[in-house]
């Protein structure tokens, strides 16, 4: 019996290692900031469901424009009323949650007209939201963990330079995380070149509003696109970006039970699987979508 048990234990251990190697635990990233009825940052983080909170959006920047942040319904940056979220950002970070500022979005005025413009925008972001200093910090003295690129308008150029300039600030001792939210057709029109730098820690691919690569009653197109992203885009972690309600997107909503039983068991085998990104906290609050998938992520 002793001999048999000695042989059996390593086999169990090897099976366990194989299971761990073939499936990776992930987190849930959530966008917050575009609906005043979605609750505060502290309330969002207190749920314990999210590993990343992305504040949306800084939607005016570049080409000599004065940058502007729009946190619809939450506060007005021009009256300094958004500084109230400084303590809440710190509260989220104390729970181990990464908090990023998203630049871009579907509505706004932004572009990068040159490499020098990218440098100037990076300086602004560093001094205003990250580890630098500025007399004007709309979110107060909280130091965000990084910047998310949700680029859907304007020029398709120079975002690789913005990424490099932002990553350069890591030399001051605190890591600057970079996120990106490309559309699922690959390469992404706006961020394809930037993503090839390999500088992005989190890539939450939007598998919605894009019929060729989203769920359409079966998972084939989505999984095929996912495999292209995980094999061809160098990054830290890649997330499955989904709408948290049918009303959250024009198309591409995936029922939570399909995500848990059909999609996640397949994509979690990818070595760079990171988890699921949801748009947005407001819709998740209405539907409880994250509650339905959290045990499978």
Rg for the chain, CA atoms, rounded: 20
Question: Is the previous residue joined to 187 through a cis bond, with omega within 30 degrees of 0?
Answer: yes
Find out whether 247 and 187 touch, Cβ atoms under 8 Å: no
What is the phi-psi region of residue 62: left when phi exceeds 0, alpha when psi lies from -120 to 50, beta otherwise?
A: left
**Number of Cα atoms under 13 Å in the Cβ half of residue 118:** 18
Which residues are within 8 A (CB) of 25 and not within 5 positions of it... i.e. 6 or more apart? 297
DSSP classification of residue 65: P
Q: Which residues are catalytic, by number?
A: 152
Which helix (H) or strand (E) is 293 found in, with range?
helix 289-293
Q: Is 20 helix (H, G, I), strand (E, B) or coil?
A: helix
Closest CA to 279 of 140, 111, 150: 150
State how far the alpha carbon of 232 is from the alpha carbons of 2, 163, 200, in Å. 49, 19, 14
Strands (E) across 170-293 are located at 177-180, 202-206, 237-243, 273-279
Structure tokens at 88: 């809440």
Alpha-carbon distance 208 to 226, whole Å?
Answer: 12
Q: What is the distance of C-alpha 73 from the center of its chain?
A: 22
Structure tokens at 130: 């990250």
Phi and psi angles of residue 116, each rounded to the nearest 5 degrees, phi first: -65, -35
Which helix (H) or strand (E) is 150 found in, with range?
strand 146-151
């Amino acid at each position: 019996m002793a001999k048999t048990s000695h042989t059996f234990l390593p086999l169990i251990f090897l099976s366990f290692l194989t299971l761990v190697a073939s499936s990776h635990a992930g987190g849930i990233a959530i966008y917050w900031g575009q609906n005043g009825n979605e609750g505060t940052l502290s309330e969002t983080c207190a749920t314990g469901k999210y590993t990343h909170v992305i504040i949306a959006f800084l939607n005016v920047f570049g080409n000599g424009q004065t940058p502007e942040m729009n946190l619809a319904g939450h506060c007005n940056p021009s009256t300094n009323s958004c500084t109230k979220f400084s303590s809440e950002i710190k509260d989220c970070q104390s729970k181990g949650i990464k908090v990023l500022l998203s630049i871009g979005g579907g509505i706004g005025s932004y572009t990068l007209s040159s490499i020098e413009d990218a440098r100037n925008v990076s300086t602004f972001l560093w001094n205003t939201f990250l580890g630098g200093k500025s007399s004007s910090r709309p979110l107060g003295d909280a130091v965000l963990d990084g910047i998310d690129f949700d680029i859907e308008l304007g020029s398709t150029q120079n975002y690789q330079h913005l990424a490099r300039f932002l990553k350069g600030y890591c030399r001051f001792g605190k890591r600057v995380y970079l996120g990106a939210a490309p559309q699922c057709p690959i390469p992404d029109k706006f961020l394809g070149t930037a993503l090839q730098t390999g500088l992005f820690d989190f890539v939450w691919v939007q598998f919605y509003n894009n019929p060729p690569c989203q769920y359409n009653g079966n998972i084939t197109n989505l999984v095929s696109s996912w495999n292209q992203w995980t094999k061809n885009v160098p990054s830290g972690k890649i997330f499955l970006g989904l709408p948290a309600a049918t009303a959250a997107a024009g198309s591409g909503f995936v029922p939570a039970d399909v995500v848990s039983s059909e999609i996640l068991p397949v994509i979690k085998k990818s070595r760079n699987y990171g988890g699921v990104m949801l748009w947005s906290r407001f819709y998740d609050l209405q539907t409880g979508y994250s509650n339905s998938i959290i045990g499978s992520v």
